[in-house]
Amino acid sequence: MICALASAVCFGTASVFQAAATLASTPGSGSGLDAALLLRALRQWRYILGLGLDGLGFVLQIIALRSIPIYAVGAALAASLAVTAVVAARVLGVRLTGTEWGAVGVVCAGLGMLGLSSGAEGDTAGSMTLRWSMLGIALAVLLVGAAAGRLPGRSRALILGLGAGIGFGVVEVAVRLIDSADLANPALYALLIGGGAGFLLLTSALQRGSVTTATAGMVIGETIGPALVGVVWLGDRTRDGLGWLAIAGFAVAVAGALALARFGEATAPPDEGRDSPARAIGATP
């Protein structure tokens, strides 16, 4: 659980820098899989720093996924939104409203409930059908993302964010389905394709869509589905008699994260520069 929370800290901090760098980049072709946009963002040191934090967070995420249930890790990763809000308040000097501080507290409470109730990871080996299903879902995310960038505003942001979340969710499940460096294991390719597609879709959502809607979609996509897969197919369980606490904690943590989704919206005053970090994450200077 400590690794899961540390991973959320890395991802949440990275978002502050990546959102600012992405917003400052020149818009691309309109596709949800705009690799050129990613290359332009990579020219900025803020995006490079964010990538480094993402890499560290991914390693910590893998450690957590090999030790505790997927639902606990997923809720912790959703809490990265709370980290983003707090880091922006401390590092960029932006102000959080009382409601936003309350949402941060709700997320922490939910994670505390999960920490008390979650058991060890399930010991059920995933079937070959599940492994191929994860690969199929990862490929579907690629196809949906290629078209979603051309949808109108709010629909585009929702589909891009949801697609990114599903791609990251595939990564969470695939980690549990990989026991060795077996190149014949479909889960290995599901992890690579799902993670890459999720990253591209999220980058496009941060640049061109309503980031509030996209972030909410991402939270839903990367938490609910993987949690169900872990419980139904991989044997994830809670401590004896504490199933109700785990369900409540999961719901509370995700609800708090969704309440913070608006923190991604660009709402700074019009005289803010295009590359303003505060504008990129939607804080009030």
Distance CA 151, CA 205 (A): 12
Q: Which tokens is 272 given?
A: 């803010």
Residue 178: per-residue pLDDT: 92
Asked if 104 and 154 count as a contact pair (C-beta separation under 8 A), the reply is no
Residue 10: per-residue pLDDT: 94
Distance CA 81, CA 193 (A): 24
- Percent of the chain exceeding pLDDT 90 equals 44
For the stretch 73-128, pLDDT in tens is 999 988 888 888 888 777 666 678 888 889 999 999 999 999 899 887 777 878 99
For residues 115, 77, 283 and 51, what is the CA-based torsion angle, rounded to 10 degrees? 140
In 3-state terms, what secondary structure has residue 178? coil
pLDDT at 173 over 90: yes
Which among 74, 20, 69, 67 is positioned nearest to 45, based on CA atoms?
20
Distance CA 98, CA 95 (A): 10
Q: Which tokens is 166 given?
A: 């599903």
Asked if 141 and 201 count as a contact pair (C-beta separation under 8 A), the reply is yes
Distance CA 102, CA 237 (A): 29
For residues 220 and 269, the model is more confident at 220
Q: Which tokens is 285 given?
A: 């200077």
For residues 205 and 269, the model is more confident at 205
